[in-house]
């Protein structure tokens, strides 16, 4: 069994989810049940799926959960771009999040490739 807390990809995923949460606190109520819930859910699902995969007994299962985490990272990127287009994020906030997401996506993908 792997210790997910020691994995850089889990740590980066946690940092990202924690960074996104306060940015959504002042978003208008109209976005609460769609965009806000979506971006918070997708961003928190990245480290959650990595942690869940660490509890699986086979590399195949672990890899599948890493692929889920990667998909959630891409979903989060889309939500960030939508939030920016709705003027809920500044350009600097958007750029910083996208940079973080691209790094995380590359690292998760490299981890997946190393398991193959």
Q: Does domain 4-115 have CATH number 1.10.1240.10?
A: no
Instruction: Give residues with Cβ within 8 angstroms of 5, minimum separation 6.
Output: 11
pLDDT band at 111 (very low <50, low <70, confident <90, very high): very high
Model pLDDT for residues 55-65, shown as the tens digit of each residue: 999 999 999 99
Answer whether residue 30 shows pLDDT above 90. no
Q: Give the up-direction half-sphere exposure of residue 22: CA atoms within 13 A in the CB hemisphere.
A: 5
pLDDT band at 110 (very low <50, low <70, confident <90, very high): very high
pLDDT band at 77 (very low <50, low <70, confident <90, very high): very high
The rounded distance, in Å, linking the Cα atoms of 56 and 87 is 40
User: What pLDDT shows up at residue 95?
Assistant: 99
Sign of CA dihedral 107, 84, 16, 35: negative
Residues 23, 29, 30, 31: what is their CA dihedral angle, to the nearest 10 degrees?
Answer: 30
User: What pLDDT shows up at residue 46?
Assistant: 99
């Amino acid at each position: 069994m792997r210790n997910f807390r020691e994995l850089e990809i889990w740590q980066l995923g946690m940092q990202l989810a924690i960074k996104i949460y306060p940015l959504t606190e002042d978003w208008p109520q109209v976005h609460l049940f769609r965009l806000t819930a979506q971006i918070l859910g997708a961003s928190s699902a990245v480290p959650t799926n990595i942690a869940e995969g660490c509890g699986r007994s086979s590399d195949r299962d672990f890899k599948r959960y890493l692929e889920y985490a990667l998909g959630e990272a891409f979903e989060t990127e889309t939500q960030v771009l939508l939030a920016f287009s709705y003027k809920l994020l500044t350009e600097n906030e958007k750029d910083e999040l996208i940079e973080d997401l691209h790094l995380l996506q590359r690292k998760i993908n490299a981890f997946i490739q190393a398991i193959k």
